[in-house]
Amino acid sequence: MIIARILSIVIGYVFGLFQTGYIYGRSKGIDIRKEGSGNAGTTNSLRVLGYKAGLITFLGDLFKTIFAVLLVRLLFGRQYPQLVRVLELYAGFGSVLGHNFPCYLGFKGGKGIACTSGMILAVCPMAAPLCLLLFILAVALTRYVSLGSILVVCAYLVQTVVFGQLQMFGLSGSALTEFYIVSGCFTALALWQHRANIGRLLKGTENKFGMSKKE
Domain presence at residue 109 = yes
pLDDT band at 215 (very low <50, low <70, confident <90, very high): very low
pLDDT over 90 at 165, yes or no: yes
Residue 168 in domain: yes
Q: Is the pLDDT of residue 167 over 70?
A: yes
Q: State how far the alpha carbon of 193 is from the alpha carbons of 58, 145, 155, in Å.
A: 17, 14, 17
Q: Decide which of 63 and 33 is more confident.
A: 63
Tally of domains in the chain: 1
The predicted pLDDT at position 39 comes to 87
Q: What is the pTM of this model?
A: 0.92
pLDDT at 47: 87
Q: Is residue 213 scored above 70 in pLDDT?
A: no
Give domain status of residue 105, yes or no.
yes
- Percent of the chain whose pLDDT exceeds 90: 87
Determine, yes or no, domain membership for 214.
Answer: no
pLDDT digits over 74-131, tens only? 999 999 998 999 999 999 999 999 999 999 999 999 999 999 999 999 999 999 999 9
Residue span of the structural domain in which 76 resides = 2-203
Q: Looking at the domain assignment, is residue 212 inside a domain?
A: no
Is 208 among the domain residues? no
Q: What is the pLDDT of residue 211?
A: 60
Q: Look at residue 164 and tell me if it is in a domain.
A: yes
The pLDDT, as a whole number, for residue 209 is 81
In the prediction, which pLDDT does 40 show?
86
Who's near 44: CB < 8 A, 6+ residues apart?
A: 21, 32, 35, 36, 37, 38, 215
* 50 falls within a domain: yes
Is the pLDDT at 210 greater than 80? The verdict is no
